[in-house]
Amino acid sequence: MEHVRLAPVFIMFRQLCGRLLGVLFFLIASAGWLESKHIIGGEVTYECMGPGSSSSSRLYQITMKIYRDCDPGAGGAGFDTPAYFSFYRGTEAVNSFYSSLTINEVAITKIVPDTPKCIQNIPFVCVEEGIYRFDVELPVINESYFIVYQRCCRNNSILNIYTPESIGATYSVEITAQAQSLCNDSPVFNDFPPLIICKDSPLDFDHSATDADGDQLVYRFCAPENGGGPVLTNPGYTECGGAQPIPPCPPPFDPVPYIQPTYSATNPMGGNPQVVVNPVSGLINGTPIQVGRYVVGVCVDEYRNGDKLSTVRRDFQFNVADCDPTVLVRLDGGDSLIYLDRTYYLKSCGGKDVYINNTSLDPNFISSFTWNFDLQGTPYFNDVDWSPIVSFPDTGVYVGKLVLNPGSECSDSAGVVVRIFPGVETDFSYAYDTCVAGPVQFTNLTVGEAGGLKWNWQFGVPGATSTEKSPSFLYPIPGNLVVSLEAIDTNYCRESIQKEITYLPAPATVIVRPSSFVGCLPGEITFENLSTPLDSTYQVEWTFGDGGTSSGVISPTYTYTTPGIYSVGLSITSPIGCSVSDSFSDLIRVVPSPVADFSYSPTEPTSIEPTVAFIDQSMDADRWFWQFDRFGVSNLQNPVFSFPDTGQVRVLLVVTHPEGCKDSISRVIDVSPEVRWFMPNAFSPNGDGTNDVFLGKGSLEGATNFEMTIWNRWGELVFETDNPQEAWTGRAQQTGGLSPAGVYVYLVRFKDPRGQLLEYKGYVTLIR
């Protein structure tokens, strides 16, 4: 143990060289035993030992306990020697560096697990406790001191926080200004939590602390604090994000990152109901339900005369194992049994002889047992019947206990509270007209001595329920229907009864859809029979008014083939012979369908004459809709339309009957590209500006492969060209002398836009 007085010069020295010491320590130490990724808990406490060297200072003994995993298979975590502590002053949010301290001694003790008795298959757990203890003299100031130690990292198999292998720990304690003034001692926890907790077994651990000053202590779950980081090499090893901050970094400290919403600082082990800590006694109880390792924080707040003096935070790890208990009380009572705080609550409604089903574990390890009850002053003792039938004298609450292996080290026990309530006798009757569909009236005949009765009716139809005492219900379907009534009294005693109702009346009203119909031939109509109740066991007869009938089909489809007005009849007979029928006069009116037709002129439109007149030739139509391919529409009876392009176009005509029936027809019209070409029969190339050249005229749009040749009467070629705009000037090949007057032969050839070869052959007279 070191006794250190922190003088101002020493403080300045620590501020200047603290981090240099850390770097030097890192360089000379073995990386293996410095590794701290297996921290499993710790806490810092203080004891005020009296005035220091002056009345304005206090001498404190600081104790830090660190717990680490020592399982050789987990790598074997060592303890820091030296360990580095920082002293800060101020508030948690605004603080300044005060001093640092190096402690070279640690007392190491292996903690022996308090193995749960009568448990099998307990996993191996090894934990060592390292205690750092030193004295320090601190001036009394008007603000807090924070004593801080930090190290990374935690066991990487922890379940309830993110990336535990990268999350370190901060162990600190605050000495408040009031605590300094009063020379206060912090609380000290009495015992370390159990190293092993068995899944599905009740946890009852006294986590209380002792306060030397007798101050009020309040316990709560709180978040352990993060500190340091996973950086194991320099630069960074001794920084705030490194494995060993030198000196440790200042408050405020971040909480460890719980995996929410499953886990949190106040519910560190999850589950529902969750493990809790009693704020007054410090007792931790509950039943862990999942195997694993969990980071848990417990804070104890110290109060004196209503003023808070200190908070001590313990950070530790719960190890929940899938143990096998050899002796464990278990009772089975179905819905009538509740287990709470190691007590079984059984309920019997109307029966005073109660069978208690003992399913305790493990019969091979149970050599004896006792049942005890207080039967209204008369003791009940039974050590023979494993699952007894206990006869209780009357209604009431009876307290008892089951003890397994009484007096043995491997013993277990649980309280048994049996509540005997009056029973509920559930019954009902019903009445309805068996032949004409109507509501069924239910009469509740239930008797319940305890009173406060509530009702749950199920009428045998999905979703059909009621909470009325004596309801009525109109069934939408027929058949053999199972009705159940459950009665629940004020003690939550419940009893149910079921009865079968044969409900096969004829429908009260015959309902048919459509209620009216007007349509064109052929008139295909689906008749919907909406009468209820009705199913395939009923006899159904239809008449459609044109001589057609249907039998056995609830909702038939029928086709009318002749125009006219028709009445429809429907007859329904139930399986027990109840009948109902109705007729619907003039329900259906069927009219002739329109016939679409048209003609057009010209019958062969062209690009030169693209306008077409359409003539409606339809029958029984009063509305028209024309669609001229992609180019336009019209609602006129006899429209005229000009097509903007050549090619095959589809013209659609849709006509509508006055009753709304429709018919349509479409035709393909070919708008052909037209070529027109005319050649003169004479010309006079005398230079007078009139008729001086020989040139054809017309429309050649889309034409290709044009060629024109001119021959004299001796068969000599005098002119040729592939340009329809080039004229013959009367000279041989346009460059020779003037050709003599006379008659010449011309030949013009080209292909029209659709590739057809056209020829124009004739005579032209050259006049001089």
Strand 197-198 to 307-321 pairing? parallel
Question: How far apart are the C-alpha atoms of 743 and 122, rounded to whole Å?
Answer: 129
pLDDT at 27: 32
Report the candidate in 752, 754, 736, 747 with the shortest Cα–Cα distance to residue 696. 747
Q: What per-residue confidence (pLDDT) applies to 315?
A: 94
In angstroms, the CA 719 to CA 730 distance is: 9
**579 to 219, 544, 585: CA distances (angstroms):** 79, 19, 20
What CATH number should be reported for the domain whose range is 326-421? Answer: 2.60.40.10
Instruction: Please give the backbone phi and psi of residue 131, each rounded to the nearest 5 degrees, phi first.
Output: -115, 120
pTM recorded for the entire structure = 0.49
What's the pLDDT at 14? 32
- Give pLDDT, residue 309: 95
Which residues have a Cβ under 8 Å from the Cβ of 476 and sit 6 or more positions away? Answer: 461, 532, 533
β-strands 343-349, 119-120: how paired? unpaired
Is 676-766 the same fold as 424-503?
yes
What CATH class does 598-671 carry?
A: mainly beta
- pLDDT at residue number 114: 66
- The tokens for 577 are 């012979």
User: Contact, 724 vs 696, CB < 8 A?
Assistant: yes
Domain 676-766 has CATH 2.30.30: no
Q: What is the pLDDT of residues 669-724, one digit of tens each?
A: 988 887 888 899 898 998 888 898 898 888 787 788 999 999 998 888 999 999 99
CATH second-level architecture of 512-589? Sandwich (2.60)
Rounded Cα distance, 668 and 111, in Å: 100
What does residue 660 show for φ and ψ, rounded to 5 degrees?
100, -5
Neighbours of 253 (CB within 10 A): 21
- Position 216 scores a pLDDT of 97
For residue range 255-293, list pLDDT tens digits in order: 999 999 999 999 999 887 889 999 999 999 988 888 999
Bond preceding residue 362 cis, omega within 30 of 0: yes
Amino acid found at 698: G
Superfamily of domain 424-503: Immunoglobulins (2.60.40.10)
Distance between CA 701 and CA 86 in Å, rounded?
100
Reduced to 3 states, what is the DSSP secondary structure of residue 666?
Answer: strand
- In whole angstroms, give the CA distance from residue 676 to residue 756: 14
List the beta bridge partners of residue 97.
Answer: 88
Please give the structure tokens belonging to residue 718: 């005098």
| CA angle (745 as vertex; 743, 748 as ends), nearest 5 | 145
Low-confidence ranges of the chain (pLDDT < 70): 1-37, 71-77, 113-117, 334-335
Residue-range domain boundaries for the chain: 2-321, 326-421, 424-503, 512-589, 598-671, 676-766
Helix (H) or strand (E) holding 180: helix 177-182
**Which pLDDT does position 17 carry in this prediction?**
34
Q: Which amino acid is at 423?
A: G
Q: Which helix (H) or strand (E) holds 14?
A: helix 8-28
Say what the alpha-carbon torsion angle 249, 222, 116, 273 is, to the nearest 10 degrees. -150
CA-closest candidate to residue 105, choices 63, 168, 51: 63
